[in-house]
Amino acid sequence: MLLMPVAEALQRVLADARALPAEMVALNDALGRVLTEDLNALRTQPPAAVSAMDGYAVSAADVAQAPVKLKLIGEVAAGHPFEGEVKAGQAARIFTGGVMPAGADTVVIQELTAREGDTVTIQKATAKHRNVRDRGIDFTQGQTLLRKGRRLSDRDLMLAAAMNYPTLNVHRRPKVAVLGTGDELVAPGSTPAPGEIVYSNGFALIAMARSEGAEVSDLGVAADRVEDIAAAVRRARDWGADILLTSGGASVGAHDLVQRALAAEGLALSFWRVALRPGRPMMHGRLDGMQVLGVPGNPVSSYVCAFLFLVPLIRKLSGREDVERVAEPARLGRDLPANDERADYMRATLILGPDGPIATPLPAQDSSLMAPLAKADCLLIRAPKAPAAAAGSPCVILKLGL
């Protein structure tokens, strides 16, 4: 079977993916979610003209010249409007957020005043309308402020709350079930017996899915038996997973049983084997309504494949517009030899040089090495059959997260 180009493989993964249905959630649960409808303000903000400072509410005509003495007739605090009217020669003590009383159009800040009893001396002239926030200066009722398709930030949630929305309609979170496979795998904290290794892939894959906003079910590790893997697949399906992500056993060796178990459960295989380093034995298919991604067992391969295929799939199901990661330009930090028929995603460090970012591939690129992966800042992409390149040559990178 020929190796499938990365771009074509990703196209197949995303081809049938559609944004998941809407659900209503509380504001505190909406961070990072995608709106399924426009949001129109349910109120005007502020609903009335208010003071922007602590000071005195006055008529501008009375403070055009200074000094001038005015009679205090009341006090205005936020949430406690003054029911009277400020007339010529009068002032009302006002605090930030207080509603401007009738007759007042200006606020003189308290630093420019001196008070004695019920008299306040304005020590410096103040222009009309100074320190006043007009009604609707932020937004008005009915104004569309957040659009359908927007991924909600913390700032958006602040705005939605001010618009008077306690809940929002957003796309449902994708449900991702993560399954490790292999007789050799034991949990962290164990004492591995000869031939055993500590299971690590799932922790990165689960964290990656959660960081993209997915709901995750950890299916643990299945032994290298078709019936055990098939049972885990059924658990994912019963849970209602949108995506089943398996790690290990995706090839066709005697002990690579994932494809066999999935086929027994009804998998429609889309592809396996991608022209990708690391991650050639990458698999994709559909099982009823569940997308299946099978990433290799080598830790770096599993991470890179999830980074390239799982993340865009989660984003598309979430209703996001920024589905595919955007490659950024950089320059090589060292010489590189010619590439073979596979696209190479090299772990590299990143520094800012005088002419922009400089990406330096780490010396150890084996797909089993986790320490270099943790040290990397980006993946440096080399196209299939790319010629040798000297340090300083242009290149493209995908930045890694925290």
Whether pLDDT at 150 is above 60: yes
Percent of the chain with pLDDT over 90: 96
Q: Hey, what amino acid is at 200?
A: S
Residues 239 and 286 in one domain: yes
Residues 165 and 37 in one domain: yes
Domain end marker among 133, 154, 184: 133
Domain end marker among 110, 133, 156: 133
Instruction: Tell me what the mean pLDDT of segment 284-304 comes to.
Output: 96
Domain end marker among 264, 287, 317: 317
Closest CA to 57 of 97, 14, 22, 21: 97
322 in a structural domain: no
Whether pLDDT at 1 is above 80: no
pLDDT at 249: 76
Residues 189 and 313 in one domain: yes
107 in a structural domain: yes
Instruction: Tell me what the mean pLDDT of segment 246-269 comes to.
Output: 83
Residues 181 and 250 in one domain: yes
pTM: 0.91
pLDDT digit string (tens) for 336-383? 999 999 999 999 999 999 989 999 999 999 999 999 999 999 999 999
Instruction: Tell me what the mean pLDDT of segment 183-197 comes to.
Output: 94
Number of domains in the chain: 4
Whether pLDDT at 250 is above 90: no
1 in a structural domain: no
What range defines the domain where residue 161 resides? 22-44+145-171
- For 200, other C-beta atoms within 10 Å of its C-beta total 16
117 in a structural domain: yes
pLDDT at 401: 83
Residues 71 and 109 in one domain: yes
Any idea what the CATH number is for the domain that residue 368 is in? 2.40.340.10
Residues contacting 392, CB < 8 A, separation 6+:
331, 332
Residue 51 three-state SS: strand
Residues 178 and 164 in one domain: no
Where does residue 74 rank: exposed (0-12), middle (13-18), buried (19+ CB within 10 A)?
middle
Residues 28 and 14 in one domain: no
Residues 190 and 160 in one domain: no
pLDDT digit string (tens) for 173-185? 999 999 999 999 9
Residues in the chain: 402
75 in a structural domain: yes
pLDDT at 252: 60
pLDDT at 54: 98
Residue with tokens 């399906």: 237
pLDDT at 2: 80
- Taking the C-alpha atoms of residue 260 and residue 265, their distance in angstroms, rounded to an integer, is 9
352 in a structural domain: yes
List the helix and strand counts (H, then E) for the chain: 8, 26
Residues 207 and 300 in one domain: yes
Whether pLDDT at 254 is above 90: no
pLDDT at 255: 57
Residues 285 and 160 in one domain: no
Structure tokens at 15: 């081809």
Contact 180, 205 (CB under 8 A): no
33 in a structural domain: yes
Residues 222 and 249 in one domain: yes
CA distances (Å), origin 359, targets 311, 315, 349: 23, 27, 6
Peptide bond before residue 299 is cis, with ω within 30 degrees of 0: no
pLDDT at 253: 58
140 in a structural domain: no
Any idea what the CATH number is for the domain that residue 166 is in? 3.90.105.10
Residues 293 and 186 in one domain: yes
Any idea what the CATH number is for the domain that residue 237 is in? 3.40.980.10
pLDDT at 279: 94
Residue 2 three-state SS: coil
Across the chain, mean pLDDT equals 96
Q: Hey, what amino acid is at 289?
A: G
Any idea what the CATH number is for the domain that residue 55 is in? 2.170.190.11
Whether pLDDT at 78 is above 90: yes
pLDDT digit string (tens) for 119-139? 999 999 999 999 999 999 999
pLDDT at 385: 96
